[in-house]
Structure 1
Amino acid sequence: MSKIKQAKHFSELKLEAIELLGNSLHLPGSDISLNSFHFNIDIDNKADHDSMRLFAIISIEILSEDKNHILGAVALSCIYTINNFDELVKNDSGQITGMPKKLIEKINAISLATTRGVMFSIFKGTFLHNALLPIIDAQTIPA
């Protein structure tokens, strides 16, 4: 009887830390509309063998409605632990081969939601008070 290999699962994924890497505000001229915003979003996923941690580094630029002016930016690192790190990100030789796509999507979804809250806190009471990061399907972000 052949064994069916079970799909890898993400047991005990924990958000361990949130680090603000940077943020900025760029005061717009009086001719810049603040009714609508655009967002440039970059996510960099990493796995660190030594610390057995997973990282999602989120960088977001907030652009004016015409997309010609950067009004603000934020960079955040969300740091995760997972109890089956070796099983998920290493090959049989112990080398890091990368994270499974479903794990990246889960981490990205959590990290984007976390970044949305941090952005609201940072920009509250400023001209970017209403620049709320929209709900984004993590599956649409290239891994």
Structure 2
Amino acid sequence: MSMRRDAFLDHVQERGEYRTREEAERVARVVLALLGAHLVGTVRAELAARLPETYALILLNPLQAAEPLTPERFVRATAAWIEGATETTALWDIGAVLSTVAAAAGDALTREVLLQLPPGYGLLFGHPQPT
């Protein structure tokens, strides 16, 4: 069952303490486009199925990553795509979006997603990295 768009954005806006819906929308699009580039196969499809259609499409038609980004480089890339962002604000933005993604995905699927990502992404999702 996918999360409704309003519920998804409400969650991002609340987590990120954004003043406007538009801010939440903008960071959600950037972070999901970058995340989608790192995921493949059924894991990406299953995650997309849990997201509102708008965001599922972004996840499934990502910016192609030449190589998997480390968490640090993911933060830098996010900062580069969001106007006026710094690495500190980008880290905050990523946390707001990915914690919402984790809530929509549930623990089991979030673990599958983390297995496809370089080490250290657990913290970005609000999950300590499994050892």
| TM-score, reference length from structure 2 | 0.32
Which structure has greater helix proportion? 2
Structure with more relative contact order (C-alpha pairs < 8 Å, separation 6 or more) = 2
Which structure has the bigger radius of gyration? Answer: 1
| TM-score, reference length from structure 1 | 0.30
Which structure has greater strand proportion? 1
